[in-house]
Amino acid sequence: MAGTDGAKREMIGSEGMVLLDMIRRLNRRSASGHLLRLIKKTHPADMAWVFRHLNQEERSGIFNLVAKTKVIGEFLSELDDAILVDLIQQLTPQYLASVITEIPSDDAADILETIPDEFADEIRKHMEREDREEVEGLLQYHPETAGGLMSPDFMCLEGDVSIGDAIGIIQQKSEEMEMVFYLYIKHEDGKLAGVISLRELLMNAPGRKLKDVMNPKVISVNTDTTQGEVAHVVSQYNILAVPVVDSSFNLVGIVTVDDIIDVIREEATEDFLQMAGAGKDREILLKSTFDNAMLRAPWLFASWIGGITAMIIIGTFEEELAKVLALAAFIPIVMGMGGNIATQSSTIIVRGIATGRVNMNELFMVVFKEFRVGLLLGFFYGIFLGVLAYFMHHDSPLLGLVVGLAIFVIMAMAATLGTVIPLIIKRFGFDAAIATGPFVTTSIDILGVMMYFYTAKLILGL
């Protein structure tokens, strides 16, 4: 199966490059008619992928043609934020208002949330009152919460409606709704009462009431539930959409699986960037050289501070190094082994927290397990490196013991700290991914150097 998936990804990539090459060639030849026909035949998501690989001049010319098609709204909703902000300036607020009203309101809210406030306000002024109020209702929620992700276009009926009537209503209104996976049932006061899938709806007799066949145990989220928690709910319960309720348990929207896929991808990208110490801006590759450097500079500052501190520590042991110069040769491997195992432990824990596999109520067991892993690996590499140091430096027979013991202690400590730091950060309500980058490796470098030299001082009597 893995090989099949890999081949499929390669095929999609090659088709994308063929499409990109065709669009570029037609654009260079100014073959607007042929290019427009190709754009109309291409899925908006594929066109958005193409635009990520075009330069600014190519984007501007081709976008003028995309704007003439009926899929311009869906295309805008597929674009990366930085590209969207750049391209949308070419369109008038009046035209954009007409485009935005044709796409789902949650996508419209995302676009208005992304572009500059003044331009967004101008667009809203040209929208119909009903459409404007619907979009503004979504904009009141934080974009990374269930309220910001949800769509207000969903199928919802009262429990006294018969199954036959419900099917008729769905057939009439399904085109206006956001992916009719489930039919939600509400009480007369608007509160969520139950849910039934379309499959179950069709399997019951037309004369039965919805309240008699619905599932009253509805899995739902609140409007201020974070997008990460919403993704976890959808993933854990294998549902295609999750209803969103307000503080009074009134049904106000649904979050569908297509939005959750985007959330999972965005969260994973942010975690990878933070773990690498490159910030959390998903659009970092699309930013200018200066902006890119400014985003990464604060994270690298932590490494710089750690390096300066390690340098000062090494300087305080200058006399010891002068007596046994061979100690200096093993500093890189001591720091490297400690930093690597700490990063491994942190990455495992961050991933476990994100997937729900790490139980925050059993912290001791999690930490103790990684501590034992550190002991085992430290024992193995400590013996291996200690023996190597012994044969390399016969003039200092205790050096092998120093190096071996230091590696053993440092790797056990590093694995423990690499586990504890993300868990502590998570316990205080912060994103655990920030611990896996420079913060863990820098702290391990400092502590590793100190422990190495104090071990040498104790055993060698320096």
Tens of pLDDT, residues 65-113:
998 888 899 999 888 888 888 888 888 999 999 998 888 888 888 899 8
Residue intervals in the chain for CATH 1.25.60.10: 2-141
In the chain, the amino acid numbered 400 is G
Give the mean model confidence (pLDDT) for residues 210-221.
91
CATH 1.10.357.20 in the chain: give the residue spans.
284-460
pLDDT for residue 5: 40
pLDDT of residue 10: 41
CA torsion through residues 456, 458, 461, 462, sign: positive
Collect all residues with Cβ–Cβ distance below 8 Å to 24 and sequence separation of at least 6.
54, 58
Sign of CA dihedral 181, 5, 271, 352: positive
Residues 6+ apart with CB under 8 A from 318: none
Q: Is 342 exposed, middle or buried (0-12, 13-18, 19+ CB in 10 A)?
A: buried
Band (431; pLDDT cuts 50, 70, 90): low
CA dihedral 232, 226, 250, 103 (to 10 degrees): -90
- Give 375's pLDDT tier (boundaries 50, 70, 90): very high
CA distance 255 to 455: 57
The CATH homologous superfamily for domain 284-460 is: SLC41 divalent cation transporters, integral membrane domain (1.10.357.20)
Query: What angle do the packed helices 93-100 and 105-114 form, to 10 degrees?
Result: 150
Q: Which residues in 145-155 are b (16+ Cβ under 10 Å) and which e?
A: bbbbbbbbbbb
pLDDT exceeds 70 at position 14: yes
pLDDT at 3: 43
Q: Average pLDDT of the chain?
A: 83
Residue where the block lists tokens 């959390």: 280
User: Which token pair is 159?
Assistant: 């429990």
SS3 content of the chain, % helix, strand, coil (to 5): 70, 10, 25
Task: Find all residues with CB under 8 Å of 114, minimum gap 6, and list them.
Answer: 81, 84, 85
Which tens digit of pLDDT belongs to each residue from 281-317? 555 555 667 766 776 677 677 778 877 888 888 888 8
Task: Please check whether the domain covering 156-268 is classified as CATH 3.10.580.10.
Answer: yes
Closest CA to 108 of 55, 157, 178: 178
CA 35 to chain CA mean position, Å: 35
Residue spans of beta strands (DSSP E) within 213-305: 221-222, 241-245, 251-256
Q: What is the pLDDT averaged over residues 400-419? A: 91
Per residue in 136-182, pLDDT (tens digit) is: 888 889 888 999 899 888 888 888 899 999 989 888 876 667 667 88
Rounded Cα gap, residues 109 and 76, in angstroms:
12
Identity of the amino acid at 47: M
Q: What would the mean pLDDT of 433-453 be, rounded to a whole number?
A: 79
Buried b (16+ CB within 10 A) or exposed e, 400-439: bbbbbbbbbbbbbbbbbbbbbbbbebbeeeebbbbbbbbb
Please tell me what DSSP assigns to residue 434: G
pLDDT, one tens digit per residue, over 309-356 is 888 888 888 777 776 777 888 888 888 888 889 888 888 887 777 666
Asked whether the predicted pLDDT for residue 4 surpasses 50, the reply is no
Numbered ranges of CATH 3.10.580.10 in the chain: 156-268
Tell me if the pTM is above 0.85.
no
Q: In CATH, what is the architecture of 2-141?
A: Alpha Horseshoe (1.25)
Q: Which amino acid does the sequence have at 119?
A: F
Q: What is the number of helices (H) and of strands (E) in the chain?
A: 23, 6
